[in-house]
Structure 1
């Protein structure tokens, strides 16, 4: 029997906490090689940061990206109203089904982000007279990062070739600036809260990834529903226009038949 009132609300909250926790922990475990290689960036001297970033970037497309796609596959089910799906089964099904595309997309995005970060660093540290150009690269980094989030949403929602997913993820990010901004703000708030205080660091291993996945897919799905509604209206308008065209053509044909016949239905030319 479904609980109501305050107890029912507390039960639903605890249920969602459990769901977010399970998926976030599973995501971290499947991304463990990437996380372990990235660890020295936060725990060791600056000299080893470059090596750690390079090694972690190499393994990211094979571990982090498929795991993130699997997490988005679960978030997709939740956002679309299927909240009672089996968590681990749905996660690993999404991991398997989207592994290849998320890996290929991961390689592309890692290369893009790596090039942008390297160029930004050059302009920031070595070309002081052109330091302002580095702000352009910061903007591009944000754009590519949001495109990456949209890419994960599209991988789990559409059946497309990878190159189409990559292109459409960028076009969606550019073409919907308000949604892009809201994604940046909401995800940025979660990341800021997670790192703002040592007391809140527990959010990172327990909830941060799964929360971002839910918010990002919800934003994407809102765009998808709006585009689908526009497409349906356009199809209806096209069908009505075609029906009017057929009606007008049939009316013209009937008029021509009447004009070519005499008063008793005989051909007037005779």
Structure 2
């Protein structure tokens, strides 16, 4: 039987087996350590609130305002998804205000606020994030209330919102036992003279969504698809109450989807976003 001295001498003597064993130890040790640590440590993904909306609606400004708690930074058209971790509370002293960075009272919940690009060419990126977001608990769809009176702005905003609502509707119809994701239409720039009131924003969006729904239904009828296929496909792609003449946000409750329209302003003096913040705080 080899003595301890002989074993040490064998290990210290350069040879192919010794070199291979040494390489194996060097490579395997970090991997084993990582596996041990990852199994012992638990990481919880915080709830996610997704910011959607057309370019120029104020999504990135809102993100930086809520992150800083004071004033938003100068922004430009976003080309990538970005997120910040925030804390919200429903029982703290400052529960109704986003300026809660120094508030230690009550219970605070961490959540991720995820900003998405709003440019038309980058919209698939945002919709992809909507489809893949982990622990999605709420959606904030921002729009420019001061530009909504312009035909092209209304059409673009409503078209984007149509795809978002239809995605949520299909997702709600396909699953069971889980609550659906609520959506806030945040009508931004209410401090501007040309801004439409939240009630008018809601009515105009419902009218435009009605027009889009009818247009898509007519396009399907004109496509030459068989009547049976048309009935099935039209029902699946019909937003809101099937067969209704006019779309209304209340129809989304049929799919357990709550839609609220609330006005505010990111860049107003004093930043009028507390109603949006309280809406988010109650859902994370």
TM-score of the superposed pair, with normalisation by structure 2: 0.27
Give 1 or 2: higher strand fraction: 2
TM-score of the superposed pair, with normalisation by structure 1: 0.29
Give 1 or 2: higher helix fraction: 1
